Amino acid sequence: MTTADADVIGPGGAPAPSDEEQLAGGVAGLYERAWLNLRTGNLGPFPIILGEIIVVIIFGFTATNFFTAVNFTNLVNEAAGTAMLAFGVVFVLLLGEIDLSIGYLAGIGALIVAELQLPGSGHQMNGIAAMLIAVAACASIGLVQGSIVAYVGVPSFVVTLAGFLIWQGVILNTLEVRGTIIIQDRWINYTNNYYLSHFAGYLIALLVSLLYPLSVLYRRVTARGTHIAQVNPWAVVARTLGIALAAFGVVIIANNAKVILTALGLPLSGVIIIIAFIAFTFLARWTTFGRHVYAVGGNAEAARRAGINVPRIRVIVFMISGATAGMGGIMFAAQVNSVALTFPPSNLLLNAIASAVIGGVSLFGGRGEVRGALLGAILIGTLQNGLNTLDVSNGWIYMITGLVLLGAVVLDTFARRLQARSGR
């Protein structure tokens, strides 16, 4: 497979051109493309968006405090850490691998940053430096685990299950002696406890609204003379308007949040997630590395014969998974300003993997997008937030989340069969 091929072969090997990059033009062309995708099982984000709408409607009528600005900002903060971990899970699943260690890797990241910022410890650091070191440490752990998978040949399930147990033990041994470590550094706590001014929120919404049409323009200029350069203007306009409405809607709601007469605003955690989302989307869709990840996940042997360094791709992907786990752990710790024996949350690993799978990332490798992880994290966050608002027990929350995950996997299985029959 060549790099040029990878741009057009679609979800089985690399991201196919999006709707606005198809040759068909006008509204009729966009409709035909959507109908073709539906018949061939290429559903994209449609099922999860529909699911999110249904969940919001249900809780809007049943939970009295669900439709409040304060609850919305809480939802953003609660879903941010899960989304960060899910971004790394996407790359691992694209290879057809699994990383079971990310929950306690998140705990290691939080533990390192809490220890490095501790006043009077003899090594007190600035919060930003502490976070960089913590994320680098988690990426290094991913390097070691990925190397065992890639070069020794031990299945990722076994390697990361061992990591799950090892890092759980490290956290228990440390905190059983030290007890709860309070995070006092403001920069660390800002990652999940800071709200932007109203003006800054609107400015970010404007930037987010402009990013998509600018990205289409960039791709059209760089691919001039090829079929990718031809766009469907109706699709571009529709998506741009949709993104703008969503961005400004989020900011307007967040700017109306108040706690004891204190105005809140757009949570910084949400901005961090959007930046990470854009960066990882660029990495997956527009770089040689991203195309190689899809190629390896689609057919590792064919990728090797095409000259792709398969072991190196695997190692880098596990490093990404470790780094995102570390950053997600920091955000979770900042939410409660501490690291305790109860950290990380018991459902963190499953929520992160479920977010990616519910978002359409295939467990069989080679198919899915980073946006799926974000949408999945939003759906799970909304579902659990709404159930908590209704004061539903944790047992029911786990069961309902599990049913949603099972439904997503069943849908993915049927979609793959439709694609196989249609030859896409």
159 near 302, Cβ under 8 Å? Answer: no
Calculate mean pLDDT across residues 164-189: 89
Nearest to 12 by CA among 407, 371, 364: 364
321 near 89, Cβ under 8 Å? Answer: yes
- ∠343-353-162 over CA atoms, to 5°? 65
Residue 412 in this model has a pLDDT that exceeds 50: yes
Comparing 210-224, 272-286, 355-369, the range with the smallest average pLDDT is 210-224
- Residues 12-64 pLDDT 10s: 444 444 444 444 444 555 555 555 555 555 566 777 788 888 888 888 888 77
Residue 324 in this model has a pLDDT that exceeds 80: yes
Nearest-angstrom CA–CA distance, 206 and 357: 30
The number of residues in the chain equals: 424
Domains located in the chain, CATH noted:
40-194+267-422 (1.10.3470)
> What pLDDT shows up at residue 230?
60
Quick one: pLDDT band at residue 224, thresholds 50, 70, 90? low
